[in-house]
Each structure stands twice: as structure tokens, then as C-alpha cells.
Amino acid sequence: MTTPPPIKFLLVDDLESNLLALSGLLQREGLELLTARSGPDALELLLVHEFALAFIDVQMPEMSGFELAETMRSTERTREVPIIFLTAGAVDSQHRIRGYETGAVDFLTKPIDPHNLLNKAATFFQLARQRQELAWSNARLAEADRSKNEFLAMLAHELRNPLAPLRNAAELLEMPEASAEERTESRRILTRQIENMSRMIDDLLDVSRITEGKISLHKEPVALAAILTAATNLTRSACIARQQQLVLELPTEPVFLTADATRLEQVFGNLLSNASKYSGDRSKITVSAKRTSSREAAISVHDDGVGIAPELLPRVFELFVQASRTLDRAHGGLGIGLTLVQRLVHLHGGSVEARSEGLGHGAEFIVRLPVMISAPSMPAPVTSASLEEPRRILIVDDNTDSAHSLARLQARRGHVTRTAFTGPDALAAAAEFLPEIVLLDIGLPGMDGFEVARHMKGLSSLRGVFIIAMSGYGSDEDRVKAKAAGFDEYMVKPVNLEELHKHLRARV
């Protein structure tokens, strides 16, 4: 949180010595004392500043303290300023009545008791600070509400964007007269747009999990070069399409991390995706990594694109801050990618910073990560696995399109498949079909996937069946619940086919 502005008190007395004494007693951190030696001087200050309290001497030439208070009460701007009168004489009932009529909250008699003065001042200081904090909190809530509404509008916009090319590509594939080239391109469009939608949904879920502390890293020794190579390979096709030059500069000596390789690929994939998105055609993007000390490596992702506006630079990692560097959303996006980058880097014990000389001057993101002091003993390379052996696979999903399309894909790979769309139908099909693998949707109507899995695991005829959960949810709690119900693996929809094939190959 930024440092709050100081609370201001006004001190009015025609004697300089009295003002100095008051200032000396009241001075404290967070409090600004402004002084005036006459009523007119005080009014000038009141027109410019917001005061939490005014100490006003009653006996002053030209304009008395009571007259100053009456003027303050007649003006909208100063009407609510609390007043404590200071007087050298005895305060009779008539003076008190007049003082309270002008809005006084108290009288202090000179010579002033320091303890009494400080107690009263502290009360008004705390009240002003609380009002300030409440106003700040309300402003933050209003800003959060505005950001939330903008984000929901962006989310609707960004999720609708892929629907048009998806529909167009599907329509084109339905046309008998479509050429082989048009069909190939349509299939590529379908794949790209589905991946885009999946990535957005995954990012949203990841940010939610990290915010709630429900994400865990699967750390193991990994080469930094392997992570950066994988991330650049993911982005290279987008760069080639825009004739962008993507340069990867790796350390001369191997650098190893104890890290979750998949999550770090996500970090650098997001940074590279941003660099490509915000750079023009035929621009240059450079990824350079070096070991800066025995315990740290620095990785820079630099582009010569649109740059980052100075007012946005301190906020680029904030959740729901639109990532459009020109603030016009011309490049789209949900504004959560950089938030995810920062939080994943922090989970790895590292840091990330953004640099830019301003709009039109490109941008650089520098990630610093702890490294292993010595190289680990890496496991022997695994040879490429052959295609999985033919299996009997039961696919259970209440979305019939999803079930049928997945069944056709697996049949093309030589498997024998059967589909079911409800829990009871799945149990009946399993008893007859005796599957080796079951791909089971958790969110079935009526009898859900958890109950179906428990029934299947209890049947002697299905002893050894391998059940893979399919779900739109991917939290750690969901995975634990699935494991307890008897699921052997857990996959988030849309199912990653390569990951599925790895599971099938592992069932040799």
C-alpha cells in the first residue's frame, strides 16, 4: 500500500511563541501542522487545505476566534472542521454557549496542559486516519468492481472471438466442394482456436488456484536450456507467421534448476507470447539466459515492440490489469498472463521485473531463478515408446459429441471402443464389454462419475480396470476426491490427446 497523505491540523494564534509551543507539542509522524497568526490568514489556508482539526485562539485582533469560527460554519467547505478554542482567561457559561454555537467541540485554557492537549489531538488524528482509510478502501473497492466488470466484458469478448473461426471452419469442412487445401487449413484453424480457448481457461484456473494457495509444484532437477527451448518452440510458429525473428541465447555452460518444468515452460511461453503479440511484423524477439552467480540465473525476454506506458509499468503484474500496453485493447487478452507469470516465478523462489523506456521503445522482462550449485546426476534418456497396444476402451460422457468424437479418434489408433452417456448405462456397458480402460466423465447427471468409479472398482469382472477421470475442474481437492473414488488418473477437459496416449502406452 502507498504511504497515506498526512493528516493536517490548523493552528491559529496571533502570538508566534504560542504557535511554536503548540507545534512542538503536537508534532508527530503522519501529521502536518499549518499555522496562521490571524483570522484572514487562517481563512486563506482553509480554502486550500483539508483540515482534520483546528486549534483557534479566542482573543485575536482584527477577527476574534469566535468570528473566525462563525465564518467557517457559514462556508460549505469548512463547515465540518472540528474546532478546539484556546483561551487565556476563565471560560464562563456565556463564552461556552457562544463557542458551542459556532461549532466548537472543546475549550482549552492557557497555560495548556500538555497531556490533555495530546489526548484530544490523538483522538481527532485517529478519527481522520480512519476516515482516510475508509475512503481509500471504498476507492479500492470501486476500482476492483470496475476492473471486475471490465474483465468480465473482456472474458466474454475473448471467448467469443474463437467461435467465429470455429464455426466457419466447421461449415467449410461440411462443404463437399471444399478443396483438400481448404480442409487442411480448416482443421488447423480448429486446432489453433481450441488451444487458445483451453489456454485462457487454464490461465484463469491457475490464477485462482495460486491465489487460494491450492497449487503445488512438482519439482525435479531440470536443465534451464531444455525449458527455454521448449518455450521458444511453442511460440516459434506464431513468430514465423508474422516473420518475426526469434533468437535464443543460452549459457555456454549447462545450468540446472530444481523446478516444475511444465510451469516454467508456461512462464516463458506467456512472456514470449506477449512479446510476439505486442511486436510488429518482421520484428526481433530475443531470449537470453546467463548465470549471474553461483546461486542465480537471469533470463531476459526482450522485444522491440510497442513498449509499456510509464503509468502502466508499475501495474503490469496486477490481476485483471488489461495487458494492452497502449491501453486500447487493440491486442486483446485477459490481462492475467503476467499475473500468472509473477506468481509462478515467486513459487519457484525467484523474481520477475518489467522494463521499458515507454511506448514505442519495446519491453524487457527479466526472470531471476535460483539454480543448483552443482549439476545433478540425470537419469538415462528414455527411448521413444511405440504406439500403444490395441485396448478395449469405454468412453463415458453425457456430452454425446465429445464421447463419439473421442471414440472415433481412439478407433483410428486401433483401439476397440464403446460409448455410454449415463452412469447406469456405463455400468451395463462395462459388465458386457469388459473394458481395460475407462475414460469417465465426473460430471454425469444422476449417478456421477465418482459413484460409477466406485461401483466399477468393486466388480470382480473388472479387476484391474484402469479408470481415467475426465473433468472440467482441476483443483487439488478434485484430484484427491477422484483418487479416493478409485480413479487411477485425472485429466482436465479438453483431454490432451498426447497425454492420454502416454497413459495408454504405460498400460503395457
The pLDDT value recorded for residue 211 is 64
Task: Give the mean pLDDT of 361-374.
Answer: 92
The answer to whether 40 and 62 have CB atoms below 8 angstroms apart is yes
Neighbours of 426 (CB within 10 A): 29
The pLDDT-based confidence of 2 (bands split at 50, 70, 90) is low
Residue carrying the nine cell digits 484430484: 479
For position 331, what pLDDT does the model report? 45
Is residue 146, in this structure, part of any structural domain at all? no
**Cβ neighbours around 290 below 10 Å, total:** 16
| Three-class secondary structure assignment of 60-80 | CCCCCHHHHHHHHHCCHHHCC
Phi, psi of 365, rounded to the nearest 5 degrees: -115, 125
CATH number, domain at 434? 3.40.50.2300
Q: Are residues 172 and 101 in the same domain?
A: no
With bands split at pLDDT 50, 70 and 90, how would you rate the model's confidence at 378? low
Confidence of residue 186 (pLDDT cuts 50, 70, 90): confident
Picking from 169, 190, 211, the residue at the C-terminal end of a domain is 211
Mean pLDDT of 64-90: 86
Pair 29, 170 in one domain: no
C-alpha cell at 81: 472542521
| CA 416 to chain centroid | 44
3-state secondary structure of 12: strand
CA-nearest of 8, 30, 29, 1 to 136 is 1
Arithmetic mean of pLDDT, 212-217: 70
For the chain, give the mean pLDDT.
84
pLDDT digits (tens, 9 = 90+) for 82-93: 999 888 766 566
Do 314 and 405 have their domain in common? no
Confidence band for 386, pLDDT divided at 50, 70 and 90: very low
> Percent of the chain at pLDDT above 90?
35
Q: Kindly state whether residues 361 and 229 are assigned to the same domain.
A: yes
CA geometry: angle 55, 20, 81, nearest 5 deg: 15
Q: All 3 cell numbers of residue 250? A: 543460452
Q: What is the pLDDT of residue 154?
A: 62
Do 206 and 341 sit in the same domain of this protein?
Answer: no
Does pLDDT of 379 surpass 60?
Answer: no
d(CA 488, CA 305): 46
H or E stretch at 309: none
Please check whether residue 1 lies inside any domain of the structure.
Answer: no
Q: 185 and 229 share a domain?
A: no
Mean pLDDT is lowest, of 394-403, 439-448, 471-480, for 471-480
Give the range of the structural domain holding residue 267, as residue numbers without chain letter: 220-370
Over 70: is that where the pLDDT of 57 sits? yes
Q: What are phi and psi of 106, to 5 degrees?
A: -170, 165
Among 113, 133, 153, give the residue marking a domain's end.
133
Q: Number of structural domains, the chain?
A: 4
Q: What is the pLDDT of residues 215-270, one digit of tens each?
A: 778 888 999 999 999 888 878 878 888 899 999 999 988 999 999 988 898 899 88
pLDDT band at 151 (very low <50, low <70, confident <90, very high): low
Instruction: Examine the domain organization and report whether 295 and 423 are in the same domain.
Output: no
Confidence of residue 428 (pLDDT cuts 50, 70, 90): very high
What CATH number does the domain containing 279 carry?
Answer: 3.30.565.10
- Size (the chain), residues: 508
Q: Which pLDDT belongs to residue 450? A: 93
Mean pLDDT for the stretch of residues 25-54: 92
456 inside domain: yes
Please indicate, yes or no, whether residues 348 and 415 belong to a single structural domain of this protein: no
Average pLDDT value for residue range 150-167:
69
Q: Which residue, 401, 447, 396, 393, is CA-closest to 424? A: 447
Residues 128 and 110 in one domain: yes
Q: Is the pLDDT of residue 34 over 70?
A: yes
**Taking 90 as the threshold, does the pLDDT of residue 192 lie above it?**
no
Q: What is the dihedral of CA 245, 250, 252, 254, to 10 degrees?
A: -150
Q: What are the pLDDT digits (tens) for 296-349?
A: 999 999 999 989 888 888 888 876 654 443 333 444 454 577 888 998 999 999
pLDDT above 90: residue 285? yes
Are both 29 and 96 inside the same structural domain? Answer: yes
88 and 21 both lie in a single domain: yes
| Domain assignment present for 342 | yes
129 with 179, same domain: the answer is: no
Q: Taking the model in full, what pTM does it have? A: 0.49
